[in-house]
A and B are shown apart, each in its own frame.
Chain A
Amino acid sequence: MVVDSRSSKQSLFQPLPGGIKLLMALAMILAAGLIPLENWPAHGLLIGMIYIGLSIAGVTTGYLLRRLALFMPMLLVFGLSAPAVRSDGAAWSWTISLWLRCTVSFLAGLWLIHVLPFRELLITLRRWRCPAVLIAMLGFMYRYTFILWDELHRLQNARAARDFGSGPWWRTWSTNSQMIGLLLLRAMERAERTHRAMLARGWDGSVRFLESDE
């Protein structure tokens, strides 16, 4: 799994400073929130602009649809919670507004992933004077996402090596939930070892950064 692999591809957006790219993404999200729901042409224009931006960034329609397929079900279910309670126009307006704005935000985030490498994002946040602790946590989260992903793969392989048939669904769920619990335990153990490694290299709790010249 390489989360950052997409942002290494060259596009028109790559040479732009990280701050500009982050501002553009935030502007799209803000616009989605501020445009009145009734102003359909503006919504359509915004979505069109984002789609063009995604295409320029190298995102294919197939990839986009696969990502939306992961995101939309949850959004659809959540959006239907209002009409399920109140079947009037206001509830449906709320639902459509939620779907629209969340989709735009999701697409803006997807665009940002494809044009802004994660390290550059952290540097931009530092320049914007975001809390150092938050930036450090994002950095650790990024690094340990890969490690936990590898750990999960190892657990899955270990299970598959002794899985001689899928079995009833409830047994699969039971195994999966145990694996998640085990993953959590291993993450906690690794956190302790990592903390020890940080202390061994003189860490005193203060967050310090190597100011980049990139």
Chain B
Amino acid sequence: MANTEPAAIELRRLTFQYPNGRLALGEITCSIPTGERIAVVGPSGAGKSTLLMHLNGLLPAPPITSDDRAQVFIQGTTVTRQRLRDIRRQVGFLFQDPDDQLFCPTVRDDVAFGPLNLGLSREEVMSRVEAGLAAVGMADCSTRNPSELSTGERKRVCLAGILACQPAILVLDEPTSNLDPRARRQLLEILRAFQGTLVVATHDLDFVIELCTRVLVLESGKVQADGATERILSDPLIMDRYGLEVPWRLRKP
């Protein structure tokens, strides 16, 4: 029997051009089933972050208003201005720099920001804040100023703020940047426990091997390769051509 459930994310000839005329994404077509963990890799300037921002409706700005022009579908729903609230409820976005995402005086206030915007009751918000902080191991830091935390701790708090919204899809932009090995390991464990769909843009290919089952190689705004993690990342031709390197653990002796 055919699977009639819509894909978690579907891109149909997604094209995006910046105001200065630079083509950032060129007719990207891709389908990501529910529950899949996919990594978007490629050289700097390939369009990874631009692609991710389309999944949460941050791009294009201003958002499109017509279903006919829709190019991004989340759980079968077009990403248009009218549906942005629902889309952002379903798609959680973790930015590369935690200081861009932590803007409240205390950790608890920041984690509560998303649930408050969902219109939940105070009790529900508090419950989600506690659950979110517990999920990332920061339950004892709720009253602290984010500026007092290390980079890894800030990133975990950012993740708590997203998990508190209970998204079905998690999108992460360079999640391991500036993290020491311990913080990286902690982040990996938290993401492994996440049950939904995961899309990660990263240069950390070892992280990809440990977390993702599928890899999308992007260059110059186009998909150059798409397939199973080990097959793509162990292919030296693909890696060399698109400015990447075969990770050590996949290199043949």
Contact = CB atoms under 8 A, between A and B. Distances in A.
**Do A and B come together as binding partners?**
yes
Interface of A: 2, 4, 118-119, 122, 139-140, 142-144, 146-147, 150, 190, 193-194, 196-204, 206, 208-211
Contacts, number: 86
Main secondary structure of the interface of A (DSSP, over half): helix
Contact of B99 (A142, A190, A200): A190
Contacts of A198: 103, 113
Given A201-B113, A210-B125, A143 B56 contact: no
Nearest to A213: B126
Contact of B103 (A197, A200, A210): A197
A11 to B, nearest CB: 19
Please indicate which of the listed interface residues A143, A198, A211 has the most CB atoms of chain B within 10 Å of its own CB: A143
Given A208-B117, A210-B122, A199 B100 contact: no
What interface size band does chain B fall in? 35 or more
Nearest to B106: A119
A210 B112 contact: yes
Nearest to A122: B105
B99 A147 contact: yes
B58 A202 contact: no
A190 B113 contact: no
A197 B112 CA distance: 14
B105 A143 contact: yes
A193 B162 CA distance: 16
A200 B88 contact: yes
24 contacts: A2-B148, A119-B106, A119-B109, A139-B109, A142-B105, A143-B103, A193-B95, A194-B100, A194-B101, A196-B53, A196-B58, A196-B95, A197-B100, A197-B103, A198-B103, A199-B88, A201-B113, A201-B117, A202-B89, A203-B117, A209-B116, A210-B109, A210-B112, A210-B129
B100 to A, nearest CB: 4
Interface string B108-149: 110011101110001001100100000000000000011110
Most buried by A among B93, B105, B122, B125: B105
Contacts of A144: 103
B219 to A, nearest CB: 24
Contact of A202 (B85, B97, B103, B122): B85
B165 interface: yes
Which of B101, B112, B126, B146: most chain A CB closer than 10 A?
Answer: B101
Contact of A139 (B58, B97, B105, B114): B105
Nearest to A139: B105
Interface in B190-224: none
Given A193-B95, A202-B114, A119 B105 contact: yes
A198 B108 CA distance: 16
Given A139-B104, A194-B100, A210-B109, A4 B145 contact: yes
B146 A143 contact: yes
Contact of B95 (A142, A197, A206): A197
Contact of A143 (B53, B93, B104, B117): B104
Contacts of A4: 145
Nearest to B114: A201
Given A143-B146, A202-B85, A202-B88, A193 B100 contact: yes
